[in-house]
């Protein structure tokens, strides 16, 4: 197996949301989906997670159709089941009962064994002034680093 690093990130999540708990989940995929992920043809920018009948599902995750797949190809934006423990699902379900809370995907990657894993986080949306505060702190840190470099 080719050991090419697959690391698909959602960079906007840390800016848009305040993150609390982070979980690592497996995904239930078909053959052509994992082949597309191995060639880094996936996006989790618009994705979010929801709970339905005691199962966690990810919605709006885009996995591009596999180039060499015939009629066995998958739908690019179908819902995919995430594999978590019952204890973790119950914890997430209690977190979602509060208005304004959501679950966002942070990173999609492959393990050493070749399994596709996704990091999801319990999150709450930031207000505009919180985002400005983060940008200001980031700019201040850059200025300090520049000053120390000189």
Residues with Cβ within 8 Å of residue 45, at least 6 apart in sequence: 10, 12
Q: Give the domain ranges of the chain.
A: 7-149
Phi/psi at 58 (5° precision): -105, 135
The domain 7-149 having CATH identifier 2.40.280.10: the answer here is yes
Mean pLDDT along residues 55-65: 88
Q: What pTM did the predictor assign?
A: 0.78
Question: For residue range 63-118, what is the model confidence (pLDDT) as tens digits?
Answer: 888 777 666 676 778 888 999 999 999 999 999 998 889 999 999 999 888 888 99
Predicted local distance difference test score (pLDDT) of residue 103:
92
């Amino acid at each position: 197996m080719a050991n090419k690093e697959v690391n698909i990130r959602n960079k906007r999540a840390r800016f848009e949301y305040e993150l609390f708990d982070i979980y690592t989940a497996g995904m239930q995929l078909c053959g052509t989906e994992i082949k597309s992920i191995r060639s880094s043809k996936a996006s989790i920018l618009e994705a979010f997670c929801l709970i339905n009948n005691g199962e966690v599902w990810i919605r709006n995750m885009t996995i591009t159709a596999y180039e060499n797949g015939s009629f066995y190809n998958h739908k690019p934006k179908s819902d995919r089941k995430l594999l978590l423990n019952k204890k973790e699902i119950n914890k997430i379900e209690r977190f979602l009962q509060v208005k304004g809370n959501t679950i966002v995907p942070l990173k999609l990657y492959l393990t050493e064994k070749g399994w596709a894993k996704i990091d999801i986080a319990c999150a709450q949306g930031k207000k505009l002034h919180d985002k400005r505060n983060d940008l200001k702190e980031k700019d201040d840190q850059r200025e300090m680093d520049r000053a120390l470099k000189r």
